[in-house]
Amino acid sequence: MMIALPVHDANSAPASRPRLPERAGIGLRSQHYQQVLDANPAVGFFEVHAENYLVAGGPFHHYLGLIRERYPLSIHGVGLSIGAQQPLDTEHLQRLAVLLERYQPQAFSEHLAWSSHGELFLNDLLPLAYDSATLERVCEHVDQVQTRLQRQMLLENPATYLEFTGSTMDEAAFIGEVVRRTGCGLLLDVNNAYVSSVNQHWDAQAYLHALPLAAVGEIHLAGFAEDRDAAGARLLIDNHGAPVDEAVWRLYAEVLQLIGATPTLLERDNHIPPLDLLVQEAQRAQRLLDASRPARQQASA
Amino acid sequence: MNSQEDFVAALLDPQRDCPPQLKAWNGSDPAARFAVYRNNVLSSLVDALAVSFPVVQQLVGEEFFRAMAAVHVRQSPPRSRILADYGAGFPGFVEGFPPAASLPYLADVARLEWLRIRAYHAADAAPLASDALAAALVAPETLGALLFQLHPALGLLDSAFAVVSLWAAHQGALAIAGVDPYQAQCALVLRNGLEVEVLGIRPGDARFIQALQQGLTLGRATQQASALDAGFELGACLAHLLRAGAITHLAYDSERPLP
Amino acid sequence: MKNTASQAISAAGLALALGAALAISSAPLTAHAADNEKCFGVAMKGKNDCAAGPGTTCAGTSKVDYQGNAWKFVPQGTCAQTASPTSPSGFGQLEAFKEVKKS
């Protein structure tokens, strides 16, 4: 099942591998296109959701093309449904390949989740049972993606709200195994790690330490909303609609202690504030990055 | 056996029980936690429709719109992973939705908004070179056999209702109190550079453009437009199309004899 | 080719109209006309997000659906402000309403 990829071929020069800068970036929103071009905000990179750009033409491509000329880019997929109990949609994968060819992003990432079933697209990142059947399937799909795209992909740890009785391994071990078997990188979403830890009553630090941290190629930070479950326990909702929580900032600082400066995205999908506020939040991450030791030479071995 | 099938069925149907084999660390009812996923699916897709159909939402109010959109989402969830494609079936759904029957124009307003979405994301195409039409004028006897290829973003709506005025009133362009929804209007939607424009056009203009879209010659299209609408002005109509970059190629119809 | 209506559109007529179209379309718009034609629409947004919605208590679990008499909403938006069918629409033809991106 393992497929040798150029990206983790021992003979390939690490310097030739496209990498995001070890700086703070923000999500690119259509409402900010013109302002980004006018003001050239001091961010390290922009990230876009792949599916928003799988349209034929028009302003989205126009602006992304102009902004790509000035900034490094991360393309973040939200619709590939890597965890689905059905084959990957090869047409969708083909569309992604065309998009990546066009914009040459420094990173491509997707989620450890599923979002499609049959013909239907549910538009949410749905949870997986962590068992051997799921592991085989996810690894097969990650292999398929990396082979088709001819690059390493980063897999993002999910925010979850419940667990499956049938899970036979914990999430960090599951992710570690996917990384080991496929050579993919980890997109470490620190907010997701915190949200899931609260929701599943895990020790967030222990969870982080159990992840394959050497494979982290990018970090996500975001805000959450707070709710309660049926027993009144805290239930955090990964709504990307608020500033990053202080608890998440503390975890982020700990992660940087462990792995050094790593490209970091401030995610905001709901209640989009003015560009200046997003840039300010990114600057807070940038200060932590500046204070941390230089990046590792290599994301994974 | 496919557990995701149960999960999906329960996501879309609030009457169904939460799927089996789910648990919470504290032994609490997993249904409350499953509700987060149910809510994400429905609210994110209703949000997507609200973004695509803002004037429909303003016309009926947010509460009515979200309830109506939720019915559509559950009946017809997306079949594309690209949400820019989601909503093509919404105008037809609105048309047949009994609680909205008191607003017979609502479906056509939705159709107009959908044309705008399509226009926004349509393929790029360079406008006709400025001298191409002038070159064609050199041989006036061949003009009747000219074929026009139109921009892929271009869309037409021939409505029994005042769709353009209703839409424009929600952009602050005119007072809604002055709009009689029951006056027939034709709308032309096109993308001029990066901007999507909505234009109210004469019935003759609409027939003319439709005929060109169908691949009819300039002569035939003009004929049809004039027959329908005595006030049709070919020069003014073409000038608008040219100014908006809506004509992309010229060709001659080789299969028909020149007039 | 049949006669009647087709005869009415002569080559000369077409040439005249095309010439006029070229002249009109290449003339610069006056500032006044350009202002009049523009108004602000809602900027299009990307709709594929990876965020969760507002929580557990909203639409997802609501059992409100259209099942005949279960429907309890009535349209309560701007539709109530439209004019009666007899009043003039007050809207001229061939006016453009452009979407203008807000930045």
Domain with B196 in it: what CATH number? 3.90.930
The verdict on residue B113 lying in a domain is no
B35 and C39: CB-CB below 8 Å? no
How far apart, in whole angstroms, are the C-alpha atoms of residue A187 and residue A82?
14
pLDDT of residue B61: 97
Give the C-alpha distances (Å, rounded to integers) separating C69 from A237, B78, C72, C73.
34, 27, 8, 11
C52 with A67: CB under 8 angstroms? Answer: no
Per CB-CB distance under 8 Å, the chain C contacts of B72 are none
Is residue A165, in this structure, part of any structural domain at all?
yes
Residue B118 included in any domain: no
Residue C82 scores a pLDDT above 70: yes
B95 and B138 together in one domain: no
| Amino acid code (one letter) for A229 | D
In a domain, B171, yes or no: yes
Q: How many other CB atoms sit within 10 Å of the CB of residue C19?
A: 15
**Interface touch C42/B54, C-beta < 8 Å:** yes
Chain C nearest CA to B176, separation (Å): 5
Burial class of B39 by CB neighbour count within 10 A (0 to 12, 13 to 18, 19+): buried
H-helix or E-strand spanning residue A236? strand A234-237
CB A222 within 8 A of CB A268: yes
Query: Chains that contact B by 3+ CB pairs under 8 Å?
Result: A, C
Flag whether B115 is in a domain. Answer: no
Q: Give the number of C-alpha atoms closer than 13 A to the C-alpha of residue A269, restricted to the C-beta side.
A: 26
| A247-292 confidence digits (pLDDT tens) | 999 999 999 999 999 999 999 998 999 999 999 999 999 999 999 9
Contact B242 C22 (CB under 8 A): yes
Contacts of B140 (CB under 8 A, 6+ apart): C11, C12, C14, C15
Residues B257 and B129 in one domain: yes
Q: Tell if the CB–CB gap between C89 and B179 is shorter than 8 Å.
A: yes
pLDDT in tens, B122-150: 999 999 997 899 999 999 999 999 999 99
Whether residues B78 and B140 fall in one domain: no
**Is residue B116 domain-resident?**
no
For C57, name the nearest residue in chain A, comparing CA atoms only: A227
* Position A55 in a domain: yes
For residue B120, give both structure tokens: 């926004």
Co-location of B127 and B89 in the same domain: no
Residues B99 and B153 in one domain: no
A43 contacts: CB under 8 Å, gap ≥ 6 = A23, A24, A25, A26, A71, A279, A282
CA distances A60 to A123, A273, B118, Å, are 20, 20, 13
A31 occurs within a structural domain:
yes
Chains that touch A (3 or more CB pairs under 8 A): B, C
C-beta atoms of A235 and B153 within 8 A:
no
Residue C65 binned pLDDT confidence (cut-offs 50, 70, 90)? low
pTM of the predicted protein model? 0.91
Between residues C37 and C66, the one the model is more confident about: C66
Is the predicted pLDDT of residue A121 greater than 60, yes or no?
yes
B159 and B255 share one domain: yes
| Domain that residue A180 falls in | 21-291
Residue from the list B44, B119, B124 with its beta carbon closest to the beta carbon of A123:
B44
Of A301, A265, A208, A207, which Cα lies nearest the Cα of A72?
A: A265
C52 — pLDDT class (breaks 50, 70, 90)? confident
Domain with B35, as residue range(s), is 1-103
Banded pLDDT at C9 (limits 50, 70, 90): confident
How confident is the model at residue C8, as a pLDDT? 54
Q: Cβ-count burial of C24 within 10 angstroms (0-12 exposed, 13-18 middle, 19+ buried)? A: middle
> Which residue type does B91 have?
P
Task: Name the least confident of A79-83, B52-56, C78-82.
Answer: C78-82
Q: How confident is the model over B194-215, as a mean pLDDT?
A: 95
Q: Within chain B, how many helices (H) and strands (E) appear?
A: 11, 6
Taking an 8 Å cut-off on Cβ atoms, the answer to whether C78 and B59 are in contact is yes
Q: What ranges in chain C are assigned the alpha helix state H?
A: 5-8, 11-26, 31-37
CA–chain centroid gap for B43, Å, is: 22
pLDDT classification of A141: cutoffs 50, 70, 90:
very high
Give a yes or no: residue B117 inside a domain: no
**What CATH number corresponds to the domain at position A52?**
3.20.20.150
Query: Which amino acid is located at A137 in the chain?
Result: R
Say whether both B145 and B231 belong to one domain: yes
Q: Do C103 and A240 touch (CB under 8 A)?
A: no
Partners of B251 in beta bridges: B147
Q: Do B128 and B252 belong to one domain?
A: yes
Among B37, B69, B103, the domain boundary falls at B103
In a domain, A267, yes or no: yes
Name the domain boundary from B68, B103, B138: B103
Tell me whether residue B158 is in a domain: yes
Shared-domain flag, residues B132 and B255: yes
Residues B165 and B258 in one domain: yes
Q: Is B134 helix (H, G, I), strand (E, B) or coil?
A: helix
Q: Are B201 and B191 in contact (CB under 8 A)?
A: no
Is residue B114 included in any domain, yes or no?
A: no
Instruction: Specify if A41 maps to a domain.
Output: yes
Residues B181 and B241 in one domain: yes
Q: A56 to chain B: nearest residue by CA? A: B123
> Residue holding tokens 């105008």?
B91
Q: Is residue A13 one of the residues assigned to a domain?
A: no
Q: Which residues of A touch B124 (CB under 8 A)?
A: 56-58, 61-62
Phi/psi at A160 (5° precision): -125, 160
Q: Report DSSP state, residue C38.
A: B
State the pLDDT at residue C66: 61
Total of domains in chain A = 1
Do B76 and B157 fall within a single domain? no
Q: How many domains does chain B have?
A: 2
What CA–CA distance (Å, rounded) separates A276 from A259?
29
Residue to substitute from C50, C100, C102, C103, interface A, most A β-carbons within 10 A: C50
SS3 at position A46? strand
Rg (CA), chain B: 24
